A = this chain, B = another copy of it.
Amino acid sequence: MTSELYRCTATQILTKIKAGEISVKDYATSLLERIAARDEAVQAWAFLDPAYVMEQAKALDAVPLAEREPLHGVAIAVKDVIYTKDMPTQFNSPVYNDHAPKIDAGSIMVLRQAGALILGKTTTTEFAATTVGPKTRNPHDSKRTPGGSSSGSGAAVGDFQAPIGLGTQTGGSTIRPGSYNGIYAFKPTWNTITREGQKIYSLILDTLGFYARSVADLELLADTFAILDDVPAPKDFTVKGAKFAFLKTMVWPSVGSGTNATLDKAVSLLRAHGAEVEEITFPEQLNNLPAWHATVLASEGRTAFLPEYTVAKDKISEQLVGHVENSDKITRKAQLEAFDNIAAARPVVDGILSRYAAVLTPSVPDEAPLGIERTGSAAFCLIWTALHTPVVNVPGFKGEHGMPIGVSLVAPRYHDRHLLAVSKKVGDVFEVEGGWKSAV
């Protein structure tokens, strides 16, 4: 069934390639056929050259078996804010039309060395910084947004056009498309993966993340990037007997009916499988976390976009002009208070999170909204971006219109492998009993 290879996860395809059942060319052909069939509806790609994909596949097939690396032949969709030496990197900005420097981001160096096949570049909002959607549509309903800013990577993985995608998150840019497209999304602890060669919005917030359709694939990527906790993740974790928490956070008033029902069901399912789930709240002194995030974002954006503002102010969006001109009149004093208060909150929140196998919290207010002009709200994600904690979006639920909704699982900083191990078992439950199945 070569024609259905595109449905495989990375882990599945690796097994087939290693066993000599299929070639990388077979696999690439299947993916390209899928892309050709679906591209008009989804439009996930900012750049994709099928001939060059086949050229890479041919080169990978020529590597002797003994010299093959752990990701040999695995196809990866790369968000177009990450440099690739053999493809353009255009940030969805007219300032960088046809921009194609011959440089690989640090993450791409690692992936290529591991044998990955770089499929192409996926759409993003402008500089991964705004909420104005690119051309991409949600694979599960083309009238809806796939979310952003990692729109193309989320949609491509959700639509089986790639098994794995790279995203980035500064507010909710990895986790939100994960929920909207019904896939796993993993935002590791801040700075566990180098951001070298990835466009800067905020140094203290920007985080490279992954999309996949299984936790095993996320673990494969975590291995590739040498993400290690102090203590190896439990191999025998079971939902039964584990202790979870459900945290509504200060953002809860903006929750919609779909996410409300999703969290209820998630908690019930975990309890039904023998877990203890406690409802907890943040300490009140952290109620300003979203405001602190906004302040840090705007003030770091002030620094980040000065070059583009200087060179071509008329070609960058009003939001970014506003950052550079400090239109919110954020004082340095307010900027430092926000920066320092978030820093002080991190160990406090780690302490709370460390009492549980994982903490459940919304990924998004509701299912993907109608329209592709806006990429939806990052309200529930940005807290965790600021706190630097790892987050996994676990899919499995649906909203009123049958669109996917995921749940965020959160753990303390540098408990990434632990969180993946827990997410795997939780995902086994949610995927089977949550009520949503992909129809694409």
Contact = CB atoms under 8 A, between A and B. Distances in A.
Nearest to A100: B102
Max chain B C-beta neighbours (<10 A), residue from A101, A203, A307, A324: A307
Given A191-B203, A203-B203, A332-B230, A307 B196 contact: yes
Nearest to A333: B230
Nearest to A105: B307
Contacts of A137: none
A22 interface: no
B229 A332 contact: yes
Q: How many copies does the complex hold?
A: 2
Contacts of A347: 336, 340
A434 B395 CA distance: 68
A286 interface: no
A195 interface: yes
Contact of A106 (B110, B194, B307): B307
Given A103-B101, A203-B203, A304 B196 contact: yes
Contact of A192 (B102, B191, B303): B303
A113 B311 CA distance: 6
A200 B101 CA distance: 18
A193 interface: yes
A285 interface: no
Contacts of A144: none
Interface in A327-381: 331-333, 335-336, 340, 343-344, 346-347, 350
Contacts of A304: 106, 194, 196
A159 interface: no
Given A110-B307, A306-B106, A346-B340, A196 B191 contact: no
Interface in A292-314: 300, 303-304, 306-308, 310-311
A403 to B, nearest CB: 36
A413 interface: yes
B196 A336 contact: no
A306 B350 contact: no
Nearest to A226: B306
A47 interface: no
Contacts of A191: 203-204, 300, 303
A414 interface: yes
A203 B310 CA distance: 24
Given A195-B203, A307-B106, A230 B331 contact: yes
Contacts of A343: 340, 343-344, 346
Contacts of A114: 310
A237 interface: no
Nearest to A343: B343
Contacts of A350: 336
A199 interface: yes
A402 to B, nearest CB: 40
30 contacts: A101-B102, A102-B102, A103-B103, A106-B304, A109-B308, A110-B306, A110-B307, A110-B310, A113-B310, A191-B303, A194-B200, A195-B203, A196-B199, A196-B200, A225-B306, A226-B306, A230-B332, A230-B333, A332-B413, A332-B414, A333-B414, A335-B414, A336-B346, A336-B347, A340-B343, A340-B346, A340-B347, A343-B344, A343-B346, A344-B344
Interface of A: 85, 101-103, 106-107, 109-110, 113-114, 191-196, 199-200, 203-204, 225-226, 228-230, 300, 303-304, 306-308, 310-311, 324, 331-333, 335-336, 340, 343-344, 346-347, 350, 413-414
Which are the 4 A-B pairs with shortest beta-carbon distances? Answer: A343-B343, A332-B414, A109-B307, A106-B307
